[in-house]
Amino acid sequence: MEVKLTAAGPHATSTTWSLPEVRNITQNRLLLHLFFWTVYVVFFGLLYGSYIDDYYNAFMVELVELPFKMALVYFNMYYLMPHYLLQKRYLEFFVYLLLLMGAIGALMQFVLLPFLIHPLFCPTTCTEDNLTFYRFVKNIVNINYVVAITAVIALLKNWYSHQQAARNLTQDKLEAELKVLKAQIHPHFLFNTLNSLYALTLKKADTAPEVVLKLSSLMDYMLYEANAAQVPLQKELEYIKNYIALERMRYGNRVEVRYTEVGNVAGRHIAPMLLLPFVENAFKHGVSTETTNAWVRIEVKVTGTQLTLLVENCKCGDRASNSTRDMASGIGLKNLQRRLELLYEGRYELEMEDEPESYAARLVLDLGEY
């Protein structure tokens, strides 16, 4: 016999539980129930024993009444509550519960007390007054203690289970959305890089083999390392540098590219493929036309746990006037903002400046502790 459960979380995998593991959980559950009833008997035995100054009889009475109380408690927890209370059928629940408590109370009052408890445990202290209606009501109130305690425990457990299920469902939804967003980035990047390689091969450029080597390195990172939730910031920046090197080979002296990096990136981690769209957009829409005055500036600054990325590009040529188009739709700005909201909610600032002659994007990110 095997029970398959799927665990939720960032690194969740399908887990198979064998019969011994299920048995251990069941045993632990039985131990918890045994512990509860032991505590209950001890507490009320001591309480009533101190009241009548007879601990032996108090404990014996609690033990004799215990099976009836347990039957009422478990019937309430596993039948009445799931079928009526949790289904919001409140009136039916309380009517059935009161009828059941009355039946158990009557059984204890008019059967157990006169024929078992009275003759065996308290022949001198128990009197005929114990068979009055007042005593019957008092017994119902006594039963109500354990029913109320166990009902509260069951409701808290049910609430906690629903909260956990809701959190797991939300987490699964976020992870699925992140996978979709990352899946959009990968083919988009590959398509643009292959276009660059195609342009070089048309010109029979000597740098084409080097482009293939760089592209191979980028593909290795994109297909294998970028599948992790977090990657070292140093590797992410090396990935961007390789991409910049590819674009330098493609444009040659027609585009002035300046990349600066300040601060210590060692030990810092970041979500993969998060910074590339800024750089890619600068080349694709800012300097993709034939021009001799194009420029791209990329600045990376790390201060403590804070990363600042500034990407600026000129608007050179007619096509560059639409430099914000890709960042405003598709896998551009909307994709980036959604990933930032999912991964760094409340820990990032994103600013865009669209000037007549230039375009700039500035991202401030709190990397926190990995």
> What is the pLDDT, as a whole number, of residue 287?
72
The span from the CA of 332 to the CA of 185, in Å, is 9
Average pLDDT of 233-262?
86
3-class SS at 369?
coil
The span from the CA of 360 to the CA of 43, in Å, is 71
Q: With a cut of 50, say whether residue 7 has pLDDT above it.
A: no
Going 81 to 87 to 91 to 95, the CA torsion angle's sign is negative
Q: With a cut of 60, say whether residue 15 has pLDDT above it.
A: no
Q: With a cut of 70, say whether residue 1 has pLDDT above it.
A: no
Average pLDDT of 297-325?
78
Tell me the pTM. 0.52
Average pLDDT of 197-208?
70
The residue with tokens 């980036």 is 336
Average pLDDT of 260-266?
91
- φ/ψ of 309, rounded to 5, equals -115, 125
Range in 71-75, 130-134, 150-154, 182-186 the model is least confident about: 182-186
Please report, for the chain, the start and end positions of each structural domain, with discontinuous segments joined by +: 2-168, 205-366
Range in 206-210, 325-329, 336-340 the model is least confident about: 325-329
Banded model confidence at residue 250, pLDDT cuts 50, 70, 90: confident
> What is the pLDDT, as a whole number, of residue 218?
76
Tokens encoding 87: 């289904």
> What is the pLDDT, as a whole number, of residue 17?
42
SS3 sequence, 14-42? EEEEEHHHHHHHHHHHHHHHHHHHHHHHH
Asked if 106 and 133 count as a contact pair (C-beta separation under 8 A), the reply is: no
Count each helix (H run) and each strand (E run) in the chain, helices first. Answer: 10, 9
Average pLDDT of 288-292?
63
From residue 293, alpha-carbon distances to 124, 230, 251, 341 in Å are: 110, 38, 12, 36
Tokens encoding 185: 């980035």
Tell me how many degrees the CA angle 36-42-43 measures, rounded to the nearest 5: 85
Q: Nearest CA to 178 among 224, 233, 229?
A: 229
The span from the CA of 24 to the CA of 360, in Å, is 60
Number of residues that make up the chain: 370
Q: With a cut of 70, say whether residue 366 has pLDDT above it.
A: yes
What is the CATH T-level fold of the domain 205-366, as seen in this structure? Heat Shock Protein 90 (3.30.565)
Mean pLDDT of the chain: 75
